[in-house]
Chain A
Amino acid sequence: MSLDKATVAKIATLARIKLPEADREAMGRELDKILHWVEQLDEVDTSGVEPMTSVAHMTLPMRDDIVTDGGRADEILRNAPNGAHGFFTVPKVVE
């Protein structure tokens, strides 16, 4: 079986990548091939094994509540492909 077009379309939407109807089947086959390959993991008995959270054997470091950044809107906005009056802009959203 190969990932059906509907599923591929759903993933493409979740990932916000435009995927023309015509390309869905091919992408489905590619993903499917990789999925079948990774499914060899099912051979491994992982009962009672904790999922890895991080290889860094430490806990979360914390910082002090001090303002150390900001006041540089120009730098934050400088790379924006589109902006106005100190804001980023996007096609109008209707809530």
Chain B
Amino acid sequence: MSDLTDLTLVTAREGLRRREFSAVELAEAHIAAIEGARHLNAFITETPEKALGQAHASDARLAKGEGGALEGLPIAIKDLFCTRNILTTAGSHILDGFKPPYESTVTTKLWQAGAVCLGKLNLDEFAMGSSNMTSYYGPVINPWSNPGSDRKLVPGGSSGGSAASVAARLALAATGTDTGGSIRQPAGFCGIVGVKPTYGRCSRWGIVAFASSLDQAGPMTRTVRDAAVMLNVMCGHDPQDSTSTPLAVPDFEAALTGDIRGLRIGIPREYRVDNMPAEIDALWQRGIDWLKAAGAEPVEISLPMTKYALPTYYIIAPAEASANLSRYDGVRFGLRVPGATLDEMYENTRAEGFGAEVKRRVMMGAYVLSAGYYDAYYLKAQRIRTLIARDFDQAFEKVDAILTPTAPSAAFAIGEKMDDPLAMYLNDVFTVPVNLAGLPGISVPVGLSAEGLPLGLQVVGRAFDEATMLRVAGVLESAAGFTARPAPFGGK
């Protein structure tokens, strides 16, 4: 039934409505695909029974002509979302065995809309990484590979399992979270669409926190239209999250008119960074030309603070993380490593429970907040964050959306850059500023590198104007006509 796994959310939705196949058949096809692709290590927990149970219920509702926006559609969940009574790990040893007594707001909305849960997806530990190499559950393998070599590639991160599972046709769609690029960069590396909504659009309630002022959940799909459909379900005001914005959510699917005539598209000068591969520069130019051809007007803009975004992010995110991760102390849930005293128990538990990157960031965060350094690092960074947001405010007085590359490179080999945190951090140079400013961003697959690996472009929108952003992305998608897909595998 592999053709069932090739459907998009939207075509599968139609197929179910027309009863061409059942939700159970659709679920079974994906469960089989997952079993055939375990070598990708995309899932930490598979939930086939739950999936089949939900699929049966969906068939019953569909039979009565009922059903929600995602009725019977099998999706998978990044293992950062708490799921009631289902193992939730955040990719960390320290959450061993944790089964939350609650369900995150976003996943609750998805199940209420009829979506079917295939399982929990692998990720960088506590979403800290750009390669999925930091997961306690091992790296995820990018379903794409360089035809010329047998080196296994990273899917990007932190939503690596999400991107790999959608690209490999193991799920019609997946949830991701994006703190500095964790949806858009892996979407780019795996040739799929990934949306990071405006900060405050999706509730953070029930999502394991990394950096509270930056974290946002979003959809990862194979088409822009699928992203719009899933985003509509995931968004909405949540009184349980004090930073959730009480705004009505427009019909994003309806916004995909394909008409961008007269829209002004900002092209930020500062994003032409040194030693960016020429092919990415070229692809970016092609994107500009496509939009121009569709009637939009490219406008060069300046975002002077761009080069300071990464260092700013690497002060603010670790600072918030150092406090957010203090609750993992071996007392109420997860791993406990014994110690003679309370403090020894804490230190042993956290030393064994956290991986190297998490330890590094928690210690960095503790340092920049500590007495005598707070002003020089944390406060300084928050002032520069104000300037970064101001850059975008000024740009959006002149333009309706901004076009940039998603990442400065295509997927790299597993193991690369692990010895050099700074080199790894550079993956997010184009995505991090968007999180710091709280704006919506989307990555759309538009072409292949010389090595035959997917490359994406990013569209950034005004705050709470995901609609325009999606409309522009839709035009890019059709113009690019990206039909390439990873070489078939597995099934063995």
Contacts and interface: CB of A to CB of B under 8 A. Distances in A.
Whether A and B touch (Cβ < 8 Å) is answered with: yes
A27 B362 CA distance: 12
A81 B326 CA distance: 17
Contacts of A50: 383, 386
Interface string A57-70: 11011010000000
A30 B421 contact: yes
B9 to A, nearest CB: 29
Interface string B350-374: 1100100001101110110010000
A40 B381 CA distance: 11
Contact of B311 (A8, A13, A15, A41): A41
Nearest to B312: A41
B335 A81 contact: yes
B422 A33 contact: yes
Interface residues of B, number: 68
A77 B389 CA distance: 43
B101 A18 contact: no
Interface stretch (B188-196, B341-349, B400-408): B341-349
A41 B384 contact: yes
A51 B379 CA distance: 6
A72 B99 CA distance: 15
Contacts, number: 161
B334 interface: yes
A38 B377 contact: yes
A73 to B, nearest CB: 11
B387 interface: yes
B334 A79 contact: yes
Contacts of B338: 91
Nearest to B439: A55
Nearest to A75: B101
A15 B345 contact: no
A16 B315 contact: no
Given A41-B312, A44-B387, A30 B360 contact: yes
Contact of A90 (B213, B314, B331, B379): B331
Question: On chain A, which size bracket covers the interface?
Answer: 35 or more
Contacts of B329: 16
Contact of B366 (A14, A56, A79): A14
Contacts of B111: none
Contacts of B359: 15, 17, 27
Contacts of A46: 380, 383-384, 387
B389 A38 contact: no
A55 B308 contact: no
A12 B363 contact: yes
A56 B213 CA distance: 9
Contacts of A55: 199-200, 213, 389, 436-438, 463
A63 B239 contact: yes
Given A38-B311, A44-B387, A16 B331 contact: no
Contact of A11 (B199, B312, B345, B370): B370
B385 A52 contact: yes
B348 A18 contact: yes
A42 B242 CA distance: 33
A16 B347 CA distance: 5
B432 to A, nearest CB: 13
Given A41-B312, A91-B340, A15 B331 contact: no
A91 to B, nearest CB: 5
Contacts of B385: 51-52
Interface in A1-47: 8, 11-19, 27, 30-31, 33-35, 37-42, 44, 46
A15 B422 contact: no
A74 to B, nearest CB: 9
Given A27-B363, A31-B363, A51 B335 contact: no
Given A49-B387, A61-B242, A81 B311 contact: no
Contacts of B377: 38
Given A40-B308, A46-B387, A79-B334, A31 B437 contact: no
Contacts of B360: 27, 30-31, 34
A93 interface: yes
B342 A90 contact: yes
A19 B346 CA distance: 12
Interface of B: 97-99, 101, 199-200, 213, 239, 242-243, 245-246, 305, 307-308, 311-312, 314-315, 322, 326, 329-336, 338-348, 350-351, 354, 359-360, 362-364, 366-367, 370, 377, 379-387, 389, 421-422, 436-438, 463
Given A34-B364, A79-B97, 18 more contacts: A15-B322, A17-B350, A17-B363, A27-B359, A34-B360, A34-B422, A38-B315, A41-B315, A41-B384, A51-B379, A52-B386, A56-B438, A58-B200, A76-B101, A76-B332, A79-B332, A81-B334, A90-B331
A-B pairs with lowest CB-CB distance, top 10: A55-B438, A51-B382, A79-B333, A18-B351, A18-B347, A81-B336, A46-B383, A75-B101, A16-B346, A38-B311
19 contacts: A16-B326, A17-B347, A31-B363, A34-B314, A34-B360, A37-B311, A39-B311, A41-B315, A44-B384, A44-B387, A46-B380, A46-B383, A50-B383, A52-B389, A55-B199, A75-B101, A80-B331, A80-B333, A88-B332
